[in-house]
Structure 1
Amino acid sequence: MARSADSKTGLAAVAEAAAQSPARGLPPVHLWNPDHCGDIDILIRRDGVWMHEGSPIGRPELVRLFSTVLRKDPDGYCLVTPVEKLSIRVEDLPFRAVAVERRGETLVFTTDVGDLVEAGPDFPVEVETDAATGEPAPRIRVRADLWARIARSVFYELVESAAVEDSRLTIRSNGAVFALGPAGAGVE
Structure 2
Amino acid sequence: MPYVPPPELASLSLAEIAAQVAARKLPPLSQWTPQESGNSEMRIAADGRWYHQGGEIRRPAMVRAFSSLLMRDENGQHWLVTPFQRLSIEVDDAAFIATDMQARTDPEGRPALTFRLNSDDIVICGPEHRLRVGGTADLPAFYLAVRHGTEARLNRSTYVQLIEHALAGHGDELVVESLGQRFGLVPQP
The structure where strand makes up a greater share of residues is 1
Contact 2:166 2:176 in 1 (8 A): yes
The alignment status of 1:147 with 2:154, answered yes or no, reads no
Which of 93, 112, 117 in structure 1 is aligned with 2:118?
Answer: 112
The alignment status of 1:177 with 2:182, answered yes or no, reads yes
Aligned residue for 1:19? none
- The aligned runs of 1:93-108 (5 Å cut-off) are 93-104=94-105, 105-108=111-114
- The aligned runs of 1:44-83 (5 Å cut-off) are 44-74=44-74, 76-83=77-84
Aligned residue for 1:43? 43
Aligned residue for 1:14? none
Q: Secondary structure at the match of 1:92?
A: coil
Q: Secondary structure at the match of 2:146?
A: strand
Shift >2 Å, 4+ stretches: 163-168
Q: Secondary structure at the match of 2:162?
A: helix
Aligned residue for 2:4? none
Q: Give me the TM-score of the superposition, normalised by structure 1.
A: 0.78
What is the number of residues matched between the two proteins?
158
Gaps of 5+ in 1: 1-22, 183-188
RMSD across aligned positions (CA): 2.0
The alignment status of 1:29 with 2:35, answered yes or no, reads no
Partners of 1:95 and 1:58 in 2: CA distance? 16
Partners of 2:40 and 2:60 in 1: CA distance? 19
What are the Cα deviations for residues 97-141 of structure 1, in whole angstroms up to 9, with x where unaligned?
00001122211000000111111122111112337xx21010100
Partners of 2:99 and 2:170 in 1: CA distance? 26
Cα pair distance change 1:63/1:169, threshold 3 Å: same
Aligned residue for 1:128? 134
CA positional deviation for 1:74:
3.6
Which of 137, 141, 144 in structure 2 is aligned with 1:137?
Answer: 141
What are the Cα deviations for residues 71-103 of structure 1, in whole angstroms up to 9, with x where unaligned?
112451111111111111101010000000112
Cα pair distance change 1:58/1:86, threshold 3 Å: same
Contact 1:29 1:80 in 2 (8 A): yes
CA positional deviation for 1:152:
1.2
Contact 1:97 1:154 in 2 (8 A): yes
